[in-house]
Chains A and B, each alone.
Chain A
């Protein structure tokens, strides 16, 4: 990973995007186990239908984990100071999540030079699923 520095970035720069594999029932089964979120609404179609949904749907935290990968692919995780999202729409089976981020602010805080990155996850149709921002410290 080549080092990103505060001086080398400017507001409006985009960080490298990432498109994840299509979400399948297997994806949700594995993520239920790995994440510890065993809510059957994500893995049991009978439960989901009884709750008024057409089918199971993805854990919001799956997309939040995907979206974090553009940050940790860009800078070491030790630079991450905060990360917050709104879950704006349900992510469904067969969605392919594309994660992107853009630098919106450069500032100094707690003796560090930091940048704020606006991040979002959209599906193959461009529907926004998660939107938020992250703050990273850059040397």
Chain B
């Protein structure tokens, strides 16, 4: 069982640059057909300053650390045993190429179901831009398959 004393633990504070090349790669990898996400002429024609970060992109930027699975090692959870349970985004400001986003995360809950066969780790992450504005909050539930 995961030690419940990790609840409230803060970790993973870091900063990531939103880069055009990475945004285009993400668009390609997700089969994006809306050109505002990869063609700056279309972006500008749509009245946007430059390429926008698509709705789930900040999740990826939150993984831009030397060991994005560090929290699993700390909790002694095997990477091969996790699944993504839920994911939530609340958006407050738009994010574009050229922005620098700072992330800070906290473990807000750990609980189990089915007599411990499944454990759940809830992680909340706040993303703030270079102007100090909170741009988004993300909440993720990681499912651990025990046994």
Contacts and interface: CB of A to CB of B under 8 A. Distances in A.
Given A41-B79, A50-B80, A76-B46, A71 B55 contact: yes
A85 B81 CA distance: 21
Contacts of B85: 86-87
Interface stretch (A2-10, A28-36, A100-108): A28-36
Nearest to B88: A84
Interface string B45-76: 01000001011100111011000110000000
A69 B79 contact: no
Contacts of A39: 69, 79, 82
Contact of A36 (B30, B68, B90): B68
B34 A73 contact: yes
Given A77-B94, A86-B86, A20 B31 contact: yes
B80 A34 contact: no
Contacts of B61: 36
A85 B94 CA distance: 20
B32 A69 contact: yes
Contacts of A1: 46
A37 B83 CA distance: 13
B55 A80 contact: yes
A60 B83 CA distance: 8
Interface of A: 1, 20-21, 27, 30-31, 33-41, 47-48, 50-52, 59-62, 64-66, 68-69, 71-73, 76-78, 80-87, 90
Interface of B: 22, 25-26, 28-34, 37, 46, 52, 54-56, 59-61, 63-64, 68-69, 78-91, 94
12 contacts: A30-B25, A30-B28, A30-B29, A34-B26, A34-B60, A39-B79, A51-B78, A61-B56, A64-B87, A68-B54, A68-B55, A77-B52
